[in-house]
Amino acid sequence: MAAPEVHHLFHAPIADHSFSADRKTLAIARDTTVELYGRVGNAFKLKDELKGHDKTVTSIDIAPNSGRIVSCSQDRNALVWEPTPQGYKPTLVLLRINRAATFVRWSPSETKFAVGSGDRLIAVCYFEEENDWWVSKHLKKPIRSTVTTLAWHPNSVLLAAGSTDAHARVFSSFIKGVDARPEPTAWGERLPFNTVCGEYMNNSAGWIHSVAFSPSGDALAFAAHDSSITVVYPNAPEQPPKAVVSINTQLLPFMSLIWNGEDEIIAAGYDCEAFRFRGGSEGWQLTGALEAKGRPGLGDQREESALNMFRQMDLKGKVKDDTQLKTVHQNTITTIRPYETSGPSVRQFSSSGVDGRVVIWTV
């Protein structure tokens, strides 16, 4: 396995990160600004700062084809940043929420995006040509608490949401005039706006931190604060799912997960490293950490002389300097995203976390 590519950008938490399609631009949510980094050789250099929010930016996403950036913040606003020759031009989106916006993602069709919020709703936003602005429709019905995470189905109509009421739900976000009528799937056939196609929770019911559809869209995985991962295989519309597989782990909770093909999930979180799960509808298993520990050059493997040992004992009261974690990330990983894919499988993925690092991993 190739060594991970580590970019230590600054000493502050990264709320979210997103690469452009050509992977030359990296957008980072840092405090109240969106920072754009450009690739210069092997490093990323700060290129531009997008200022428009006046509270912490919670999430960002770059649309791969149009290059538009959407950001959302605790100031209850979302901004769409349009690339122009003069730089990025912000457009305010009418979200109509009165709590923080927590999470934003473009739909695969890039005609819509969804914003989760602390107002117990999801704003599905689309561009209205005649008025020349972004408007939103609210998905509200059974949500009982803050929406923490969202994921789009490949058909751009179904939307999965995880929230702090411990439920992962699948909604239809069909908007007339924007979406083409979707092909029927195992989740549902007729899908008017705000159809609840599924509502799932696991036994010990932790907050949901992350949701993801499998590449085919026929399975849904979610990670919760009870250190578990649950995978749901739907059967047919209006029927109980074919299988719900829940794996409780011995680890700390996962904050983010992605699918690699239909039979592998990569998840990372409070343990500061990524783990691999393998399985299918008959069962899933944790197969181990992605990171090879004890690589040469990791940490300080310098020779310990007796003098040094006693000096350390005298100065610090201990022999070993254990202020460094053995993992590449030195704090919680908050987001992982596919970086390079080939079809349904992920070749490389990127992770960012509270330690201000963005790391690109080879699977």
One of 207, 275, 277, 284 touching other proteins (CB under 8 A) = 207
Closest CB 158 distance from other proteins, rounded Å: 22
Among 32, 248, 312, 345, binds other proteins (CB under 8 A): 248
- CA pair distance 131, 129, nearest whole angstrom: 6
**Residue 110, phi-psi category: left (phi > 0), alpha (psi -120 to 50), beta (remainder):** left
Return the residue of 5, 82, 218, 226 that touches other proteins, per CB under 8 A. 226
Nearer CB in complex with other proteins: 118/353:
118
Check residue 253 for interaction with other proteins (CB under 8 A): yes
Cβ within 8 Å of residue 164, ≥6 positions away:
145, 146, 148, 207, 208
Q: Got the DSSP string for 30-69? A: ETTEEEEEEEETTEEEEEEEEE--SS-EEEEEE-TTT--E
* Cα–Cα dist 196/234, whole Å: 13
Please give the residues from 137 up to 166 whose contact with other proteins meets the rule CB under 8 A: 144-145, 165-166
Binders in 76-135 for other proteins, by CB under 8 A: 120
Considering only 58, 228, 230, 334, the residue that binds other proteins (CB under 8 A) is 228
Angle among Cα 63, 64, 65 to the nearest 5 degrees reads 100
Q: According to CB under 8 A, which one of 38, 83, 90, 206 is a site residue for other proteins?
A: 206
Which residue's CB is nearer to other proteins, number 201 or number 212?
Answer: 201
* Residues 6+ positions from 256 with CB-CB distance below 8 Å: 209, 210, 223, 267, 268, 269, 333, 334, 335, 336, 351
Element housing 188 (H / E): none
Smallest distance from other proteins to CB 30, Å? 28
Count of residues that interact with other proteins, criterion CB under 8 A: 23
23 vs 141 by CB, closer to other proteins: 141
Nearer Cβ to other proteins, position 16 or 273? 273
Give me the residues that bind other proteins (CB under 8 A), please: 120, 144-145, 165-167, 201, 203-207, 224-228, 248-253
